[in-house]
Structure 1
Amino acid sequence: MFLKNFIFVFFLALFSASISAQNDSIIKPIELSKKELRKQKKLKKQSIQGTYSPLSPSKAAFYSAIFPGAGQIYNKKYWKAPVVWGALAIPAYYYQINNSDYKRFRNAYRLRKNGLVDEFTVNGVEVVSTETLETAQEQLRENRDFSLLSGIILYILQIVEASVNAHLMQFNTDDSLTIKPTIIQDPIRVDAPVVGLNFKIRF
């Protein structure tokens, strides 16, 4: 009876030791892998903070929305700011001209309809007919609206350009992404040179 109890206790101790050893062998690698993952995440965050700023595109778009060309200046593309200003100045200039001419013809048309003298009537003679005044109003209004639409489109495009440029500036472009033209001589065909194109992709 004593021998049976001893054998039972012995096997029970061995079984518990093997279970604890298995648990230790399973738990330790998981703990180590978690620590390594944390270290890798910290290193990735540090590297990302140094090269990539997720708020940069939104800042560039915000500055361009407040003042056209400011987003390009924020991206340090200073030469683009005068281009933006010139592009927006053209529709603004034509809008002002068409709007002022439209108001002139509209006032003249109203005065003439009310039997009053307008600026296009000289010494009782109508230099510009009533039909021409009406047609000119329609044409100038269309030109004015087109100038306004062009200015709005250019304003939106410069915001989009600043945001996209801020995105593209943060991509890591190293030597593996460049094109390097080289001349390789063929030892077999020395007399008859052959022109070709070869691409090499390195990972």
Structure 2
Amino acid sequence: MFLKKNIFILFLAFFSLHLYSQKDSTKVKNVKVQGKLFVQEGVYKPLAPAKAAFYSAVFPGLGQIYNKKYWKAPIVWAALAVPAYYYQINNNEYKRFRTAFKLREAGLKDEFILEDGSTLVSDETLERAQKQLRENRDLSLLSGIIIYVLQIVEASVNAHLLQFNTDDNLSLKPTFIMDPMQFEAPKVGLTFKYNF
């Protein structure tokens, strides 16, 4: 097993010397440039993530539009519309059962008491319904707040990631470096050199 690992490491080391991610396009010979040459000053905009987060905080989805990720804005709006819809439904039902419970406590007729005096919903059911609807309403509010914060974070992180250099000139060239001080005691190491 130890021999297999050593052979595999040596095999990998030998063949990795010729491993390149792409050819270097900057070493071009005999090319003449005619006209003006435009050089991009810099891609890094330090305030872009802060602007994206601010726009998303002011109006959800606006940070995604600022990042030119237009397809994400409707997803943000739909994600925020769902908890808002359920919050409204649960709040209306909570108020309905709360009003019925208060009327019944005061000895008045509520919407769950029929004309003949029989009740459709008992007092215990009214209390349990209020508790469950209040929990559902609060959960809808909490999930809406979490989605709101997450869309702000997503816009900011996306603005950060858009500034990374991902052009074709990035390359990876692994090399072996020998230790000249201790040549008699061989060491094996691997160094990665990133050229930008």
TM-score scaled by length of structure 1: 0.64
Superposed CA deviations along residues 109-154 of structure 1, whole A, max 9, x for unmatched, are 0000111000111111110001000000000000000000000000
- Unaligned 5+ segments in structure 2 are 1-38, 172-191
Give 1:160 deviation, angstroms.
Answer: 0.3
Q: Against the structure 1 CA distance between its residues 50 and 201, is the aligned structure 2 distance closer, same or farther, given a 3 Å change threshold?
A: closer
CA gap of 1:131–1:177, structure 2 versus 1, over 3 A, is farther
1:39 aligned partner: none
**Which of these two proteins has the greater Rg computed from alpha carbons?**
1
In structure 2, the residue matched to 1:151 is: 144
Structure showing the higher helix proportion among its residues: 1
Identical amino acids, percent of aligned pairs? 71
CA–CA distance in structure 2, aligned partners of residues 78 and 137 of structure 1: 41
Matches within 5 A, 1:105-116: 105-116=97-108
AA aligned to 1:59 is K
Distance 1:177 1:157, change over 3 A: farther
Q: Does 1:73 align with 2:69?
A: no
Q: Secondary structure at the match of 2:70?
A: coil
How many aligned positions are there? 137
Structure 1 residue runs of 4 or more that deviate by more than 2 Å after TM superposition: 175-178, 200-203
Q: Per-residue deviation at 1:202?
A: 5.5
CA contact (8 A) 1:176 1:202 kept: no
Matched, 1:57 2:49: yes
The one-letter code matched in structure 2 to 1:152 is I
Deviation at 1:174, TM superposition (A): 1.7
1:41-56 matched pairs, under 5 angstroms: 50-56=42-48
Output the TM-score relative to the length of structure 2. 0.66
SS of aligned partner of 2:42: helix
* Correspondence for 1:170: 163
Counterpart position of 2:112? 120
Q: Once the 2 structures are TM-superposed, how far is the Cα of residue 100 of structure 1 from its aligned partner?
A: 0.2
SS at match of 2:92: helix
Q: Answer 1 or 2: higher relative contact order, Cα 8 Å, separation at least 6.
A: 2
